[in-house]
Amino acid sequence: MAKKSFPLNKEQLQEIVKKYPTPFHIYDEHAIRENIRALQKAFAWAPSFREQFAVKALPNPRIVQLLHEEGAGTDCSSLAELLLSDIAGVKGEEILLTSNDTPADEFQKAIELGAIINLDDISHIEYLEKNAGLPNIICFRYNPGDLIEGNDIIGKPTEAKYGLTREQLFEAYKIAKEKGIKRFGLHTMVASNERRTEAFLFTAKLMFTLAVELKEKLGIEVEFVNLGGGFGIPYLPEQEPLNLMEIGEGIHKLYDEMMVPAGLNKTGIMTESGRAMTGPAGWLVSTVLHEKKTYKDYIGLDSCMANLMRPALYGAYHHITIAGKENDPCDHLYDITGSLCENNDKFAIDRKLPKIDIGDLVIIHDTGAHGSAMGFNYNGKLWCAELLLREDGSIELIRRAQTIDDYFATLKYPGSLVK
Ligand SMILES: *Cc1c(COP(=O)(O)O)cnc(C)c1O
């Protein structure tokens, strides 16, 4: 059984809280570095491998910078994410733009930065050419339709708005080639929080088949196959982490069986993992403000779903521990709530936990991806701070908490400063 851990003890956490009041997300630099190294090790066999960190999972330049130091690029789907990559030191073709319904300014910025553009639709070739000009290298996103089942989070590919059908894909490469583009990549993204090895092998097989066909039919040798993200993490304490080495080795075997005989022995592999890189390396730390006993026993925190939306949005499980009570018996039943005027603002429902007291520090696990990133200001609730626990044990503030002035800064009203 995988054990849910937190890198700090109660005393260390209390020291941090004196300087940085709760709520905050705290990220573990060491764990993030270990996560990307494990992924790279699994694909070390490939002629080239790059993880394009999906910025949307944790859009903080300091985190992107750490991952870049380890050799990662970025996968962006907005102007802000492109800019964020640039300021984090990620340059040129280390940046991938995988947008959809893309506005012209995103394409223009991607061209300006020399990023690789991954097109979501055949009609985008013309739109890109007209609005930003064509690049030297282009990639297309494949939607495998009913060849893949999909799951609750990502849905069925046939219902998904992303990517090109098989027919469109061949047509798109043909058009791009006729327009003089000489360098190509191939992309798909069909998994989300997937922990089954065979799902990744199935995707790889599908993509290698396409790469070989592109060579045979159009004479195109793709420089890389991007297998997307979706590497799952064990949110539940009884779940096992996915077996990256087994996935890497399985894909290696397919590569040797399919790509190498077709003369595609230089094609690199890319992934664009978000969750698996930072998810388990982040925790939301809050203080207990209230205990309320009505029909149920409620523990009210100083954070809310604006700081972590996944439980309210998907009913997602996030493990919870109480600082200093890690080994106490879980003999109380609580709903753990935030302060939003929405009844689904609950981090946990009917959760067995040790007896909780007002002032306790509550640690919500696995918030390093799609946590702070999904923040919002509904009800006037503010974004909380983000801290980085450095490898030397020091703490670095990498995002200050939003203030009430930040919140009012875009509002126009008599006497406001906004012109
Ligand atoms: C969200 C997303 C990812 C990352 O997904 P994870 O589940 O966090 O690994 C990768 N690529 C694209 C295009 C995405 O939209």
> Residue 228 sits in which domain range?
43-273
Q: Which residues contact 223 (CB under 8 A, 6 or more apart)?
A: 137, 183, 184, 185, 266, 267, 268
How close is the Cα of 77 to the center of ligand 1, in Å? 10
- Do 313 and 336 touch, CB atoms closer than 8 A? no
Q: Which of 273, 307, 341 lies at the terminal end of a domain, its last residue?
A: 273
CA–CA distance, 7 with 326 (Å, rounded to integer): 12
- Do 73 and 64 touch, CB atoms closer than 8 A? no
Give yes or no: residues 171 and 260 share one domain: yes
As for ligand 1, residues whose beta carbon falls within 6 Å of it are 54, 56-57, 75, 98, 189, 192, 228-231, 272-276, 369
Give yes or no: residues 226 and 303 share one domain: no
- Number of structural domains the chain divides into: 2
Per DSSP bridges, beta strands 24-28 and 282-293 are antiparallel
Q: Which amino acid is at 118?
A: N
Task: Indicate the pLDDT class of residue 233, thresholds 50, 70 and 90.
Answer: very high
Three-state SS at 394: coil
pTM beyond 0.85: yes
pLDDT digits (tens, 9 = 90+) for 324-362: 999 999 999 999 999 999 999 999 999 999 999 999 999
- Do 169 and 209 touch, CB atoms closer than 8 A? no
Q: Which of 242, 273, 304 lies at the terminal end of a domain, its last residue?
A: 273
CA–CA distance, 334 with 249 (Å, rounded to integer): 44
Q: What pLDDT is recorded for position 154?
A: 61
Q: Flag whether pLDDT at 69 surpasses 60.
A: yes
Report if residue 17 sits inside a domain. Answer: no
The pick from 64, 77, 189 for probing ligand 1's pocket by mutation, whose C-beta has the most ligand atoms within 8 angstroms, reads: 189
pLDDT digits (tens, 9 = 90+) for 207-228: 999 999 999 999 999 999 999 9
Q: Scanning the structure block, which residue is given the tokens 């209230």?
A: 290
Report if residue 33 sits inside a domain. Answer: no
The CATH number of the domain holding residue 304 is 2.40.37.10
Q: What pLDDT is recorded for position 147?
A: 81
Give yes or no: residues 243 and 389 share one domain: no
Extract the annotated binding site for substrate. 275, 310, 314, 342
The CATH number of the domain holding residue 51 is 3.20.20.10
Choosing from 76, 330, 341, 384, the catalytic residue is 341
Give yes or no: residues 55 and 179 share one domain: yes
The mean pLDDT value for 283-309 works out to 98
Q: What pLDDT is recorded for position 149?
A: 73
Q: Which atom of ligand 1 is nearest to the CA of 272?
A: 10
Task: Indicate the pLDDT class of residue 146, thresholds 50, 70 and 90.
Answer: confident
The pick from 53, 74, 75, 193 for probing ligand 1's pocket by mutation, whose C-beta has the most ligand atoms within 8 angstroms, reads: 75
| Burial degree of 399 (CB within 10 A; 0-12, 13-18, 19+) | buried
Task: Indicate the pLDDT class of residue 1, thresholds 50, 70 and 90.
Answer: very low
How close is the Cα of 341 to the center of ligand 1, in Å? 30
Task: Indicate the pLDDT class of residue 415, thresholds 50, 70 and 90.
Answer: confident
Active site residue 76: no
- CA angle centred on 72, ends 254 and 311, rounded to 5°: 90
CA–CA distance, 25 with 318 (Å, rounded to integer): 14
